Structure 1
Amino acid sequence: MTKSIFKEGQPQDIVQVLADKDRRVRLQTKLLQAASAKTLLDVKLNIPGPIKNNQYLRKLFVAGVKDLERILTNNHLQCSLKASWDRPTGCENFYLSNNEAFKVKQAAIYFEDQTELGRLFDADVLTSASKAALSRTEMGLKARSCFLCQRPAKECARSRRHSVNQLQAYLSQVYENNLT
């Protein structure tokens, strides 16, 4: 039986998560305004439940980021790390790139879809001209699928089709598969 990686950590509530979302938007705006770079890549884990960060989730984040950076390099995309967070609400990296947003998003989607660790991540791509992150549907692609089934992830999240325990068990299994 797989050991849960969610037995420790500081539980977060919606107020804390939303406050970090506001901090994220301010930092994204600041980074894009201050740089001549075309594209911002913002990478974080999708973590269900109140525990958003602990030693295990940090290890998943670091291992996944290494995969992402390898994919970016293999696709000849230059992305430079400009900020990094390790907060109770989770880890997050902010990269700037002079590459076209479309190309960065293609690499990010490959990372999210084709690697086991990447499935746990949300890699948003923004530009100073955009009001929101570039979406898969804008690129003519279907929405991300759920960790546990083939339905669109947002549909499962909205309907709470899967329990937090089921989703956390999946993440714990990914941890065991990749980091033990």
Structure 2
Amino acid sequence: MNHLFENGKPQSIPAVLANRDRRVALQNQLTAKYPDQTVIAAKLNIPGPIKNNQTIKDFFAAGLAVFEKQLGAKFQFRMTEQWLGESTGPERFYLVDGPAAQVKQLTTEFEEAQAAHRLFDLDVLSCQNDQTVSISRTELGLPKRQCLICGRPAKECARSRRHSVAELQDRVAALIENY
């Protein structure tokens, strides 16, 4: 049994959905205020009710330190907001001077570079016609995100609940532990 999920405040689905609404509102504010910049919303895909604790926060910060080096090698950027202590999971937001498609290419390369990075969810957003638009992998001809357990498209497995929460948590704990 893993110990990663023994500490932390369990989250309800309404709390997770409320946080998503708050994140979307912030993303919309950022793209409206900075229409010439690309926004990255960084979070983790953590299964089950425990979404944050010190180990998860430390993993998030360590992974983003690697990502920021890669991002800084190609683009000027700045962090704009950070919600590390949220019970619904740590989050960080960036403003990037660069085309959204190129930024999405870089975020996807990071997410796919090693197994533990697949836990990161780096959404890339831009302002188009006064609307916030999210750039998807498939729009750029990139492969869909794969399941951590079986390699099928992750959304298929999530929708069908192909894997148990315990199975997913064991995999996530192993990835974080070995990072």
Fold-level match, TM-score > 0.5? yes
TM-score (norm 1): 0.93
Could you tell me which residue of structure 1 aligns to residue 165 of structure 2? 164
Letter in 2 for 1:104: V
- Superposition pairs for residues 26-105 of structure 1, below 5 Å? 26-74=25-73, 76-86=74-84, 87-105=86-104
SS at match of 2:115: coil
Residue aligned with 1:40, SS: strand
> Aligned partners of 2:70 and 2:16: how far apart in 1?
29
Any gaps of 5 or more consecutive residues in structure 2?
A: none
Aligned counterparts of 1:120 and 1:160: Cα–Cα separation in 2:
18
Paired residue type of 1:122: D
Distance 1:153 1:36 in 2: 31
Amino acid at match of 1:117: A
- CA deviation string 1:10-67 (max 9, x = no partner): 0001100110011001111111222253210111000100001011110111111112
| 2:178 is equivalent to residue 177 of structure 1 | yes
The question of whether the paired residues in 2 share the 8 Å contact of 1:37 and 1:97 is answered with no
Task: Show the counterpart of 1:120.
Answer: 119
TM-score (norm 2): 0.93
* Identity, % of aligned positions: 46
Aligned residue identity for 1:63: A
Query: Conserved in 2, the CA contact under 8 Å of 1:4 and 1:169?
Result: no
**Unpaired segments ≥5 residues, structure 1:** none
Distance, in Å, in 1 between the alignment partners of 2:35 and 2:21 is 23
Shift of 1:9: 0.6
Q: Tell me how far apart the structure 1 counterparts of residues 66 and 156 of structure 2 sit (CA, whole Å).
A: 27
Residue 72 of structure 1: how far off its partner (Å): 1.0
* Residue of structure 1 equivalent to 2:148: 147
Deviation for aligned residue 1:117:
2.7
1:131 to partner: Cα distance: 4.2
Q: Secondary structure at the match of 1:117?
A: helix
Check the 8 A contact 1:60/1:117 in 2, yes or no: no
- For 1:25 and 1:107, the matched residues in 2 are separated by 22
- For these two proteins, the number of residue pairs brought into alignment is 176
Q: Which amino acid aligns with 1:81?
A: M
